[in-house]
């Protein structure tokens, strides 16, 4: 049985191990540790047999351009599942649960840099269709957005800026 729940302090060490195992480097694990100090973040873990096997993190982003000040937008990163638990739907469960919690908390959209074929199954689409571009030089098709509801990003255009903690990834 797979359980998705909010990350707790007791999960920190296991979450680091999940990110190290999934990415085969320290960058994402270090990023999570730095982002925990940022306000208004969401972090969830997948538990199997009392063991953390997956993790997802959401942190606030800003839009440089015509972003209304009251618009709350998050960036999804990272998403990690231990290799022996991949291809079992755990990542999808984390994404669905995380999006639901973020949108119920008043966030209007989530952006992600990721594989389009994976994230499109959750409703993500090219952010450029909404007039958004990423601050990083990435192909247009890998920078995606999902609105909490149709029109949530109406009249919002500009460059999405991530927290400075991302610069070391």
If we measure between CA atoms, which residue out of 56, 19, 25, 40 comes closest to residue 105? Answer: 40
**Number of domains composing the chain:** 1
CATH label of the domain that carries residue 63: 3.40.630.30
Assess contact for 69 and 160: CB atoms under 8 A. Answer: no
Nearby residues of 9 by Cβ (< 8 Å), 6 or more positions away: none
Domain enclosing residue 142, as ranges: 2-168
pTM recorded for the entire structure = 0.95
Tens digit of pLDDT for each residue in 92-149? 999 999 999 999 999 999 999 999 999 999 999 999 999 999 999 999 999 999 999 9
């Amino acid at each position: 049985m797979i359980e998705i729940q909010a990350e707790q302090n007791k999960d920190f060490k296991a979450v680091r191990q999940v990110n190290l195992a999934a990415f085969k480097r320290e960058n994402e694990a270090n990023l999570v540790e730095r982002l925990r100090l940022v306000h208004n973040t969401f972090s969830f873990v997948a538990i199997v047999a009392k063991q953390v096997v997956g993790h997802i993190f959401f942190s606030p982003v800003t839009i440089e351009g015509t972003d209304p000040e009251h618009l709350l937008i998050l960036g999804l990163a990272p998403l990690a599942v231990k290799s022996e638990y991949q291809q079992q739907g755990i990542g999808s469960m984390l994404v669905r649960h995380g999006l639901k919690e973020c949108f119920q908390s008043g966030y209007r959209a989530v952006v992600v840099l990721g594989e389009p074929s994976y994230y499109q199954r959750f409703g993500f689409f090219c952010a450029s269709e909404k007039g958004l571009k990423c601050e990083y030089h990435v192909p247009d098709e890998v920078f995606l957005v999902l609105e909490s509801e149709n029109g949530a990003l109406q009249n919002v255009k500009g460059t999405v800026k991530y927290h400075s903690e991302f610069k070391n990834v």
